[in-house]
Amino acid sequence: MENGTGSLEDDRKALSVTGIRATNQRAIVLEVISRGQGHLDADEIYRRARMNQPHISLSTVYRTLQAFKKLGLIDELHFDEAHHYYEIKPAFEHQHLICLGCGKIVEFECPLSQKMKKDVARENDFEVTSVEVRMTGYCPQCRQDRT
Amino acid sequence: MENGTGSLEDDRKALSVTGIRATNQRAIVLEVISRGQGHLDADEIYRRARMNQPHISLSTVYRTLQAFKKLGLIDELHFDEAHHYYEIKPAFEHQHLICLGCGKIVEFECPLSQKMKKDVARENDFEVTSVEVRMTGYCPQCRQDRT
DNA sequence: TTACAAATGAGAAGCATTAGCAATAAGGAA
DNA sequence: TTCCTTATTGCTAATGCTTCTCATTTGTAA
């Protein structure tokens, strides 16, 4: 959990490039999300951030998340009804497959989604800015447990 | 708004077939969703239901929605962060395209999503139970207004 | 018609998220 | 460096959607 300061500096630099103030809180939130293997919700980010910065507030986490989202640094995902999840904007477009049994999330690439996007844009005369594909089902383990 | 009782009877019948009790409240909620051109949120359903049944409670609407979802009568959609939207389970699978400008929702059929589903299921050894494709962008009007 | 479980209404409670505001800290200017 | 301005923070209260509780009512099968 503590390789910390070095890459926090990198996070600060990344932030100042974007034009917003590079605060410790923001650096830590960015760091947490980067290390977080994607798919952390606000509360989990808060909990992890507090390990480095015990006084960070939940409001700040939420505000930071909004800011990052607006800057395009992160993506906000809507997996279930209750929470949002955040991940660093991925280098390659990918989609999500969610196990209804254990909640495991699998990312997959989806070349078809690009074609789909073009088709839909043309047919509806839309400018399409994002495509989110979300499949749910049961992973091998959970399928076994169910029988 | 008042062709009412006749098709409410149909709704009651549809409900008893499913095994749950056919109450007025449930019949009206089902009726409202059927007429609702898809994409109503709980509060809108509540407001419309009250026109027929002024004392229906919001709790009942939510409970009914859950029940219908479990029965597979309706689909619950996650368009934005704040609400869920409900639509009668469509006869043909379709997906949604949402205008970020005016909120308009366009449904489109998507043959590719079936192929996608099979591909993903095979590659990840998942049993895939649902595919939700959600595109966002700008419709012709809003695109014009933005310039 | 009766009996019993299921469903309802009304309001309180629960959660994630947002807003308000005084205190603090970042970043540029002197 | 020091100062100034203003964005940002922390705390707390508020909001809004959704769920829960429980006394009362209603549907259904006998």
Model confidence at B81, in pLDDT bands (50, 70, 90)? low
CATH code for the domain of B134: 3.30.1490.190
Token duo for residue A113: 């989604």
- Would the CB atoms of A81 and B84 count as touching at under 8 Å? yes
Residue A91, pLDDT above cutoff 60 = yes
Residues A18-71: pLDDT tens digits? 889 999 999 999 999 999 877 899 999 999 999 999 999 999 999 999 999 988
Model confidence at B1, in pLDDT bands (50, 70, 90)? very low
Q: Are B89 and B38 in contact (CB under 8 A)?
A: no
Model confidence at B3, in pLDDT bands (50, 70, 90)? very low
Same domain, A9 and A79: yes
Residues of A in contact with B99 (CB under 8 A): 126
- Would the CB atoms of B97 and A110 count as touching at under 8 Å? no
Is residue A110 less than 8 Å (CB to CB) from chain B? yes
Report the distance separating Cα A38 and Cα A108, nearest Å: 13
Cβ of B39 < 7 Å from strand D? no
| CA B122 and chain centroid, separation | 29
Same domain, A76 and A109: no
Same domain, A12 and A84: yes
Q: Which of these, B19, B59, B103, B90, lies nearest to B29 by C-alpha position?
A: B59
Residue type at position B104: K
Q: Which of these, B102, B109, B110, lies nearest to B139 by C-alpha position?
A: B102
Same domain, B82 and B101: no
Report the distance separating Cα B10 and Cα A69, nearest Å: 47
Residues of B in contact with A130 (CB under 8 A): 135-137
What does DSSP say about strands B74-77 and B94-99: parallel, antiparallel, or unpaired? unpaired
Give strand letter and number of the nucleotide nearest B57 (CA to C1'): C9
Residue B140, pLDDT above cutoff 70 = yes
Report the distance separating Cα A44 and Cα B3, nearest Å: 50
How does the average pLDDT of chain A come out, rounded? 86
Residue B142 belongs to domain spanning:
94-146
Residues B92-138: pLDDT tens digits? 788 888 887 777 888 898 888 888 999 999 999 999 988 888 888 88
pLDDT greater at residue A147 or residue A15: A15
| Phi/psi at A75 (5° precision) | -110, 145
Residue B4, pLDDT above cutoff 50 = no
| Phi/psi at B106 (5° precision) | -110, 135
Model confidence at B83, in pLDDT bands (50, 70, 90)? confident
Residue A103, pLDDT above cutoff 80 = no
Q: Centre a 10 Å sphere on the Cβ of residue B29 and count the other Cβ atoms it contains.
A: 29
Is residue A130 less than 8 Å (CB to CB) from chain B? yes
Cβ of A25 < 7 Å from strand D? yes
What separation, in Å, do the N-terminal and C-terminal C-alpha atoms of chain A show?
Answer: 39
Is residue A108 less than 8 Å (CB to CB) from chain B? yes
Cβ of B59 < 7 Å from strand D? yes
Residue B49, pLDDT above cutoff 80 = yes
Residues B5-44: pLDDT tens digits? 458 888 898 888 888 999 999 999 999 999 987 689 999 9
CA distances to A13, A59, A108 from B122, rounded to whole Å, are 42, 42, 12
Please report the pLDDT score of residue B143 as a whole number.
83
Same domain, B112 and B77: no
- Would the CB atoms of A84 and B81 count as touching at under 8 Å? yes
Report the distance separating Cα B16 and Cα B27, nearest Å: 10
What is the CA angle B127-B41-B54, rounded to 5? 130
CATH code for the domain of B51: 1.10.10.10
To the nearest 10°, the Cα dihedral for A39, A65, A83, A85? -10
Token duo for residue B34: 């059927």
Nearest residue of B to residue A109, measured between CA atoms: B120
Strand D: which bases are under 7 Å from protein Cβ? 7-13, 16-21, 26-28
Provide the number of structural domains found in chain B.
Answer: 2
Residue-by-residue DSSP string for A115-127? HHHHHHHHHHT-E
Q: Give me the residues paired with residue A105 across strands.
A: A98
Same domain, A48 and A83: yes
- Would the CB atoms of A100 and B129 count as touching at under 8 Å? yes
Please report the pLDDT score of residue B129 as a whole number.
87
Same domain, B22 and B82: yes
Work out the widest C-alpha separation in chain B, in whole angstroms.
54
Give the range among A4-13, A68-77, B50-59, B110-119 with minimum mean pLDDT.
A4-13
Please report the pLDDT score of residue A8 as a whole number.
86
Give strand letter and number of the nucleotide nearest B62 (CA to C1'): D18
Residues of A in contact with B101 (CB under 8 A): none
- Distance in Å, alpha carbon of A135 to nearest chain B alpha carbon: 4
Q: What's the sign of the alpha-carbon dihedral A23, A26, A28, A34?
A: negative
The H-or-E segment that residue B80 falls in is none
Same domain, B13 and B79: yes
Residues of A in contact with B139 (CB under 8 A): 124-126
Same domain, A51 and A112: no
To the nearest 10°, the Cα dihedral for B2, B3, B9, B15? -70
Same domain, A30 and A75: yes
